[in-house]
């Protein structure tokens, strides 16, 4: 099992921000992953690090990355996927077999584990629509458990994982038969939408910064609050959509957190709505970052 010490994580994050991580472990299968979780109960777990902001000062703890756990199997219309498998690969693989239900994943750079964790969705599809069951590591009970869909407490961008400190190990989906041409056409529509409405990862970003409030749009609320003009240090709000932050190559984690807070406060002042971050934070916090995080994440069950 690959273990890296004093690992430069910046190159792996979609924000292209982050210092050295004291220890990074790359488990290759469920058994080794579970062993790591038992050995390091406080370890931070990530998939593709597409929605994680890592401190410029690094992290003195243990990070477990699931990037080597990428297997999946198909039996009829049932698909079982490991947590580290990237969504686009699973979407494309099931499409080739004429299985529909995961088309939305093609436009997400994240992994199956992260998408189950947050009940990811787009274009009328969500994880909860096809999810049947999954294996999870329960950190409180220190053991593997299996949960069915009805036990997942799925709602907008949340699941029971965020309430019970559960780590996704794998997930099983029930998909629908559909002509390959129709599936691929829908996938292309999703990709076209992403290309026109979201910044390319060539512009370092972490995807949507804030969740959409129920019945509303974070992007619209931010635009009404004039957030598109906001810039702090090397971080700026994307000019084409106000719910994205771009790193110009020099941004620090403090720059990004300060900008997130400015955006959140602008919407609060303009509309009375307190936006909740989608971006997770990992690392050693300086005094300013500590103060900002207390405000930014105060309404979340789990950061």
Concatenate the DSSP letters of all residues of 54-97 into one string. EPTT-EEEEEEE-TT---EEEETTEEEEETTSBHHHHHHHHHHT
Looking up tokens 């910044």 gives: 199
| pLDDT: which is higher, 143 or 302 | 143
What percentage of the chain exceeds 90 in pLDDT?
88
The model's pLDDT over 207-219, given as tens digits with 9 standing for 90+, comes to: 999 999 988 999 9
Q: Is the pLDDT reported for residue 302 higher than 60?
A: no
Q: Is the pLDDT reported for residue 194 higher than 90?
A: no
The model's pLDDT over 105-114, given as tens digits with 9 standing for 90+, comes to: 998 888 999 9
**75 in catalytic set:** no
The topology (CATH level 3) of 218-296 is 3.90.78
Confidence (pLDDT) at 300 = 63
What are the residue boundaries of the structural domains of the chain, listed by start?
A: 2-65, 72-197, 218-296
Q: pLDDT tier at 88 (50, 70, 90 boundaries)?
A: very high
Task: Return d(Cα 176, Cα 102) in angstroms, integer.
Answer: 10
Confidence (pLDDT) at 201 = 74
CATH class of the domain defined by 2-65: alpha beta
Mean pLDDT of the chain, nearest integer: 94
Task: Name the 3-class secondary structure at 128.
Answer: helix
User: Which of the following is catalytic: 4, 28, 139, 157?
Assistant: 157
Confidence (pLDDT) at 303 = 38
**157 in catalytic set:** yes
Task: Return d(Cα 261, Cα 274) in angstroms, integer.
Answer: 11
User: Which of the following is catalytic: 82, 103, 172, 278?
Assistant: 278
Q: Is the pLDDT reported for residue 248 higher than 50?
A: yes
Q: Is the pLDDT reported for residue 270 higher than 50?
A: yes
Task: Return d(Cα 266, Cα 293) in angstroms, integer.
Answer: 16
Q: SS3 helix, strand, coil % of the chain, rounded to 5?
A: 35, 30, 40
For residues 166 and 136, the answer to whether their CB atoms sit within 8 Å is: yes
Compute the average pLDDT of residues 71-83. Answer: 98
Q: pLDDT tier at 195 (50, 70, 90 boundaries)?
A: confident
Compute the average pLDDT of residues 231-245. Answer: 97
User: Which of the following is catalytic: 133, 159, 208, 253?
Assistant: 208
Beta bridge partners, 232, equal: 235
The topology (CATH level 3) of 72-197 is 3.30.465
**220 in catalytic set:** no
């Amino acid at each position: 099992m690959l273990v890296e010490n004093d690992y430069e994580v910046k190159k792996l994050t979609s924000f292209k921000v982050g210092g050295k991580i004291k220890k990074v472990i790359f488990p290759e299968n469920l058994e080794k992953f579970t062993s790591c979780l038992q050995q390091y109960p406080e370890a931070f777990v990530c998939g593709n690090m597409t929605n994680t902001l890592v401190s410029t000062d690094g992290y003195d703890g243990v990070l477990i990355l699931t990037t080597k756990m990428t297997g999946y199997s198909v039996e009829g219309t049932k698909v079982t996927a490991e947590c580290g498998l990237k969504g686009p690969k699973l979407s494309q693989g099931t499409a080739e077999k004429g299985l529909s239900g995961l088309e939305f994943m093609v436009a997400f750079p994240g992994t199956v584990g992260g998408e189950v964790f947050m009940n990811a969705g787009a274009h009328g599809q969500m994880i909860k629509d096809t999810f049947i069951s999954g294996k999870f590591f329960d950190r409180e009970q220190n053991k593997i458990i299996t949960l069915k869909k009805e036990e997942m407490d799925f709602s907008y961008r949340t699941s029971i994982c965020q309430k019970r400190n559960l780590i996704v190990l794998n997930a099983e989906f029930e998909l629908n038969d559909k002509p390959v041409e129709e599936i691929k056409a829908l996938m292309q529509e999703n990709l076209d939408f992403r290309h026109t409405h979201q910044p390319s990862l060539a512009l370092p970003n972490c995807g949507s910064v804030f969740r959409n409030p129920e019945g509303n749009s974070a992007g619209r609320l931010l635009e009404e609050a004039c957030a598109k003009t906001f810039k702090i240090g090397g971080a700026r709000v994307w000019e084409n959509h106000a719910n994205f932050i771009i790193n110009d190559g020099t941004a620090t984690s403090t720059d990004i957190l300060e900008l997130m807070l400015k955006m959140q406060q602008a919407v609060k002042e303009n509309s009375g709505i307190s936006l909740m971050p989608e971006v997770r934070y990992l690392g050693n916090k300086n005094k300013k970052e500590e103060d900002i995080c207390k405000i930014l994440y105060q309404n979340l069950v789990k950061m």
